Amino acid sequence: MGGKQLGFSDYELTTAKKQTKREKFLSEMDAVVPWAALIALIEPHYPKASKKGGRPPYPLATMLRIHLLQQWYSLSDPAMEEALIETPTMRRFAGIELISDRIPDETTILTFRHLLEKHDLGEQIFETVKAHLSARGMTMRQGTIVDATLIAAPSSTKNKKGERDPEMHQTKKGNQWYFGMKVHAGVDKDSGLIHSVVVTAANVHDLNPAAELLHGDEEVVYGDAGYQGIAKRPEMAGAAAEFRVAMRPGKRRSLPDTPDGRLQDLIETAKAHIRAKVEHPFRVIKQQFGFQKTRLRGLVKNRCKIHVLAALTNLFLARRRLLMAAA
């Protein structure tokens, strides 16, 4: 093939037909993901070509792109392999030009994920993206909203061991029982971006990892009624932040209809408006990227996945600012 190879975004611009939703999304993500920084992070751990001959490993850039496609479209390893075979847009995004190119099979895709898990690269990807956003003026300093969301795990015992995932647990929310894990996040109150994330079994109380969700420089911390008592926790001793935690729903309902009672209710509404910002990244992870149920067993694998998803969520939420800055 002579001449310069077209990049993913170039290709999308040269096709005259109407751009599909997937093409638009992928060309935006292609422009905002800090590819060079992520490749530099993973490269030291990525297998080099063997001197003894045999098949060379797939380019790291291709495997990273495939891994991100998997997260964006919530695909299992076999479904990802099929999507690459069937979907030209995904193939082009991964840098697999023609059908004659080798397409990584599900085992190769799985091996790459295991590499990220083994070297704790999920967390480092999250930190690298945070640094990338910070360098572009998106710092997360003034205030933090803390919250947690449940992710269900399969409760089926139809597997090799005949048991549910031993690292997942049951918890009751309202009158309903859930089995799975909890994602605790610290979200910046101004930008709505995630600055910290902790993954636990579902039965861990929201207060337990709360201190890990703070970066230490915030002036104010917001939380729902589940964070009542946060200021009294020993690990919060010496914290300079002001805690603005929601009143318990029963207490709020019984506020008197007096000027003082009405003022307290207005304050609760104002706090709720700010706390609502934390729902946006959770919605992106669960609805936009389709992560509503765990496919992987154990907390280590899911922790890695959640950190990568948190990084991709921040890029997605900041994409317009990043694209404008690059224009």
Give percent of the chain with pLDDT exceeding 70. 90
Residue 2 has pLDDT above 50, yes or no: no
User: Comparing 211 with 165, which gets the higher pLDDT?
Assistant: 211
Q: What is the DSSP string of 232-290?
A: GSGGGTT--PEEEEPPPHHHHHT--SSHHHHHHHHHHHHHHHHHGGGHHHHHIIIIIS-
- The packing angle between helices 60-72 and 77-86, to 10°, is 110
Residue 178 has pLDDT above 50, yes or no: yes
pLDDT value at position 3? 47
Instruction: Give dist(CA 216, CA 289) in Å, integer.
Output: 30
Instruction: Give dist(CA 209, CA 186) in Å, integer.
Output: 10
- Look at the alpha carbons of 193, 197, 203, 207 in this order and tell me if their dihedral is positive or negative: negative
The mean pLDDT of 251-267, rounded to a whole number, is: 92
CB 197 within 8 A of CB 126: yes
pLDDT tens column, 32-84:
999 999 999 999 999 887 666 667 788 999 999 999 999 999 999 999 999 99
pLDDT tens column, 295-324:
888 899 999 999 999 999 999 999 999 999
pLDDT value at position 45? 95
Residue 220: name the closest of 141, 278, 143, 140 by CA.
Answer: 143
Residue 249's pLDDT band, with cuts at 50, 70 and 90, is confident
Residue 167 has pLDDT above 50, yes or no: yes
Residue 137 has pLDDT above 60, yes or no: yes
Domains in the chain, please, with CATH? 8-119 (no CATH), 140-296 (3.30.420)
CB 313 within 8 A of CB 284: yes
pLDDT tens column, 76-120:
999 999 999 999 999 999 998 765 568 999 999 999 999 999 999
Provide the 3-class DSSP secondary structure of residue 63: helix
User: Comparing 104 with 161, which gets the higher pLDDT?
Assistant: 104
Residue 159 has pLDDT above 70, yes or no: no
Phi-psi domain of 123 (left: phi exceeds 0; alpha: psi -120 through 50; beta: other): alpha
The mean pLDDT of 271-283, rounded to a whole number, is: 92
Report the C-alpha dihedral over residues 246, 248, 249, 252, rounded to 10 degrees: -80
User: Comparing 179 with 8, which gets the higher pLDDT?
Assistant: 179
Instruction: Give dist(CA 148, CA 281) in Å, integer.
Output: 11
User: Comparing 216 with 52, which gets the higher pLDDT?
Assistant: 216
User: Hey, which residues does 152 pair with through a beta bridge?
Assistant: 180, 293
pLDDT value at position 57? 82
Give percent of the chain with pLDDT exceeding 90. 67
Length of the chain in terms of residues written: 327
Angle at the Cα of 294 (from 293 to 295), degrees rounded to 5? 115
User: Comparing 52 with 4, which gets the higher pLDDT?
Assistant: 52
